[in-house]
Amino acid sequence: MSNSKEPSFTNLIDLASEKLGGKALACSDDFFAPMHNLLKPGRGIFIVDKYTENGKWMDGWESRRKRTEGHDWCIIKLGATGIIRGVDVDTNHFLGNHPPHCSIEACYSEDDDLNAMKWTEILPKSPLEPDSQHFFDITNAHKFTHLKLHIYPDGGVARLKVYGEVVKDWQKDDKTVVIDLAAAVNGGKSIGCNDMFFSHMDNLIMPGKGVNMGDGWETKRNRTPNNHDWVTIRLAHKGKINRIMLDTHHFKGNYPDSCLIEGCVATDDSIIENQNWKLLLPLAKLQAHKEHIFEDKIENQGPFTHVRLSIFPDGGISRLRLFGTIE
């Protein structure tokens, strides 16, 4: 456990994220603050003198003071089935009302029948501190769909991040069906970029429309002549790309002037720079706050395992969809 330096597993996708489709399904008690706050982005905020009819407003999940035997719990459905490599149990802003301990169980279930779920402990009862991030490595390598966070005996947790790798059963997929090969819910992952000053590269491949400028990938204003910014994405599966959607939704005075996309085939993320990158989408002009569709302009469909989006000279992109078929 660490309360300061973030471990390497935090570079993985947050499987429980509300953005990815994670949901809080049930809890024993959320009298002071609702359970769904656990899965929101960031670490939570604190607003002085803000109260609800039940007490102090808190940006997290908070149960009432328990006056009976037992402890509180919350069941979460992951946004995608996956292998969990680590968790962050964050008690940010909970001072005097944090739980002293927590544990986590997980299960694999085809549906949300809470009564039929068979739980496996993946994190034994562990101590928590107030107003702190708590990073725990998870060594169980099975795939899971649901988690059960236990807190002892009661109190508040600001956020729960569940870092891991999406696992998709590709054997069930028809190779003629067109899917978004870049989508995080299918196993796509942004693995590197030269700049994400304003917002994270992983936002590019999240489900749905971007909700605001912060829900996209945006680089800082670059004053270097002939600059271009880039982001590299590992596709969920090797495949051919026949349709591209690039959305500058919400980016009006800060969208890139143009973009191009390249692809390559690599067996490992660490060797992609030495691969033979091929032009997938030639330089294309972009517009503000607009969904751009490219089909006829695609120069090389692949197959590819990785793609690199370059924007000129800088700016923000809300979403990138790479539709195609698996190989």
> Mean pLDDT, the chain, as a whole number?
96
Domain 8-166 belongs to what architecture? Answer: Sandwich (2.60)
CATH fold match for the domains 8-166 and 170-326: yes
Contact 208, 223 (CB under 8 A): no
In angstroms, the CA 7 to CA 9 distance is 6
The domain spans of the chain are 8-166, 170-326
Which segments of the chain have a pLDDT < 50? 1-3
Cα–Cα–Cα angle for 220, 221, 226, nearest 5°?
120
Task: Give pLDDT, residue 2.
Answer: 40
Q: How far apart, in whole angstroms, are the C-alpha atoms of residue 214 and residue 220? A: 13
| Contact of 261 with 280, CB cutoff 8 Å | yes
Whole-angstrom CA distances from 80 to 60, 74, 95, 116, 232 are: 22, 18, 32, 20, 22
Q: Give me the amino acid identity at 253.
A: G
Tokens of 6: 């973030």
Q: Which CATH architecture has domain 170-326?
A: Sandwich (2.60)
Residue 274: per-residue pLDDT: 85
CA distance 21 to 189: 16
Q: Which residues fall within 8 angstroms of residue 53, CB to CB, at 6 or more apart?
A: none
- Smallest CA-to-CA distance from 293 within 242, 219, 253, 252 is with 242
Structure tokens at 138: 């998870």
For the question of whether the overall pTM of this predicted structure is more than 0.95, the answer is no
CB 222 within 8 A of CB 323: no
